[in-house]
Amino acid sequence: MGPGDTATVVIVPPQPPRSTRRTTFLLVGAVTLVGFVLRFTLIDAKSLWLDEAFSVWISNLDPGHIWRTTLQIDTHPPLYYSLLHFWIDTRSGELALRSFSALFSAATVPVLYLVGREVGGRWLGLLVAGLQAVSPLHVWYAQQGRMYAMMTFFAALALLCMVRLLTGGRGVRATLLTWVGFVVATVATMLSHNTGVLLPATLLVFTAIVGLGRLVAAWRRPFDPDGTAPMGRLGAVSRPGTDLRLWLAGLAAVVVLWLPWLPGFLAQSGRVDAEFWIPPPTGQKVLDHARDLLSAYAPGALTVPLLVGGAVLVAVAAWHLRHRRELLVLLVLLVVGPVVGELLVSVRRPIFYSQTLIWTSLPLTVLVGVGLARLRPRPVMAMATAALLAVNAVSLVAYYQAAGTEDWRRAALYVADRARPGEVALFSAGWTELAFGYYYRSTGGEPIEMHGLPVDPFERGVLEPKMAATDVPRLDQLTEGRPRVWLVLSHDGYTDPDRIVTGRLGEHMHVVEQVDLAGMRIQAYEPG
């Protein structure tokens, strides 16, 4: 090597002993197993609710029809339904449907371990993974046949790639692989749910803040004629993953890959903007969302201590990460940014819904884990960790004991035990027939006609059409000459706010029996 030659020095981080790696692997496996068991405990105990029945119905269409039907009547991308199509069939029960989500949710646990390890080493990774494993929020949505657990898994992969890019310290090849992973995982998050667009939107804000901060830092530095200072060119030369140009290129690639779905996104967003059922957000709803991120189903008396404790832990984490400001900004923005985004959109059309923000619990869990790990003295850390785990245990018990959202299983059994030939079942919201019919077919009850109101499911190409006075003639036709009419009232506050159905039936029939179940009321009408 001549005097003018330069050598490239690659710094290889020290590897832990093989015994340490084996122990860590076993511990991560044990924590993941805990998460797996919690997610499959009583997974089929509760009845499917309406949205889950819709998942079953649409996923059993052929793939082409899934995409067309999603575009015509739904407000979610077709990715989840398309994957679920290959997982279940028309005979699948609650276990088969929900296990798809449960597996995604359980797989998120080791991903959170890797995120925590990147931030603060393997012990922080184990702590963060443990918190994720016992999270009541994630157990809750792991047991739903909807897309939220899948969305969270992809968001976790995106978070892992973001943290790895930001912490740097890798070669060019490893950085580019991480960059590709970030792009793919972010696009998958966006295709899991339309609110996933808040992820790249938040990252765009992050790059703007970090870019501005680096420019300010560069202006305060002494003049650097060759541009080799650590913050030259808006990125560290020795740490390619931290170069903001790579982040901006990643966001551009995300947009390009997502663009084919843009027409579908605009069509679905247009339907939501025209009319949607979610009420305007309130301060209480925002607080409830924060509580759910920490420990969903926590008793009301624990809400304030839980929120205060969470705020203290995040503050401790922020103090510890103050010298890693970009990482801190990333984690905080990923928690707060999507909430602010949904609240801003809600000024025009309310869309604030806690389950669409479930993935924001991931960076919050990392911050809480850092806060717990940095509490001093050690007994305080142990007590705080034990207290949080105890709250989660109480919340999990409350979740397992809670009634389901809607009890279509009992509804079908109730009618099947009493139905006779010639009777008809009417549904105040047409598509609720999907959930009732899912269970009624397996009861062995008397076959009866079933019809949605104002029309049968999706006959008008609308998910939830509203009852109008012009629909009364069809109602009269469906009930004429019937010895008994079963009316299933669910979601009727939205589809029949003027009570047209019950008002019309009450003019020439009377209620002979009635039962209230979770999420619905069933009335039997007879002439007289």
How does DSSP assign 72-135, residue by residue? Answer: HH-SS-SHHHHHHHTT--TT--HHHHHHHHHHHHHHHHHHHHHHHHHHH-HHHHHHHHHHHHT-
pLDDT at 316: 97
Q: Where are the alpha helices (DSSP H) in 259-324?
A: 262-274, 283-295, 303-320
The two structure tokens encoding residue 51: 């949205």
Contact (Cβ atoms closer than 8 angstroms) between residue 361 and residue 242: no
Q: Is the pLDDT of residue 6 over 80?
A: no
Residue 240 burial by Cβ neighbours in a 10 Å radius (0-12, 13-18, 19+): buried
pLDDT value for 217: 82
As a whole number of angstroms, the longest Cα–Cα distance in the chain is: 107
Structure tokens, 433: 């027939």
Query: What's residue 239's pLDDT?
Result: 61
Task: State the pLDDT at residue 237.
Answer: 40
8 A C-beta contact, residue 101 and residue 43: no
Kindly state the average pLDDT of the residues 204-230: 75
Asked if pLDDT for residue 434 goes beyond 90, the answer is yes
DSSP 337-378: HHHHHHHHHHTTS----GGGGGGGHHHHHHHHHHHHHH-SSH
The DSSP output letter for 427 is E
Q: How far apart are CA 244 and CA 246, in angstroms?
A: 5
For 244-258, what is each residue's pLDDT tens digit? 888 999 999 999 999
Model pLDDT, residue 232: 36
Sign of torsion over alpha carbons 104, 106, 108, 110:
negative
Please say if the pLDDT value at position 1 is more than 90. Answer: no
Sheet of 449-452: strands edge to edge? 449-452, 424-427, 485-489, 520-527, 509-517
Confidence of residue 223 (pLDDT cuts 50, 70, 90): low
| Residues whose CB is less than 8 angstroms from the CB of residue 33 and which lie 6 or more positions away in sequence, other chains included | none
Residue 426 or residue 89, greater confidence: 426
Q: What is the pLDDT of residue 277?
A: 87
CA-based Rg of the chain, rounded to a whole angstrom? 27
Closest CA to 132 of 36, 199, 24: 36
Does position 444 have pLDDT exceeding 80, yes or no? Answer: yes
Residue pair 470/488 in contact by the 8 Å Cβ criterion: no
Confidence grade of residue 168 (pLDDT, cut at 50, 70, 90):
confident
Q: How do residues 261-290 score in pLDDT, each as one tens digit? A: 999 999 999 999 998 889 999 999 999 999
Q: What pLDDT does residue 3 have?
A: 46
Contact residues for 506 (Cβ-Cβ < 8 A; gap 6+): none
Mean pLDDT rounded to a whole number for the chain: 92
Q: Please determine, for residue 226, whether its predicted confidence score (pLDDT) is greater than 60.
A: no
pLDDT of residue 51: 96
Residue 294 CA to chain centroid, in angstroms? Answer: 15
Written as one letter, the residue type at 421 is P
pLDDT tens string 357-388? 999 999 999 999 999 999 999 999 999 999 99
What pLDDT, on a 0 to 100 scale, did the predictor assign at position 15? 60
Question: What mean pLDDT is predicted for residues 70-84?
Answer: 95
Which among 39, 185, 152, 57 is positioned nearest to 98, based on CA atoms? 39
pLDDT of residue 242: 77
Nearest CA among 75, 72, 194, 78 for reference residue 462: 72
Paired tokens of 189: 């998050």
Q: What is the mean pLDDT of residues 186-207?
A: 98
CA gap 129, 113 in Å, rounded: 5
Round to whole Å and give the CA distance between 159 and 387. 27
Model-level pTM greater than 0.75? yes
Using the Cα atoms of residue 97, residue 98, residue 103 and residue 104 in order, give the sign of their dihedral: positive
In the structure, what pLDDT confidence band is assigned to residue 7 with cuts at 50, 70 and 90?
very low
Percent of the chain topping pLDDT 90: 84
What tokens were used for 494? 């939205």
The reported pLDDT for the residue numbered 240 is 64
pLDDT of residue 90: 82
Q: Give residues with Cβ within 8 angstroms of 245, minimum separation 6.
A: 233, 234, 235
Q: Where are the domains of the chain?
A: 18-401, 408-527
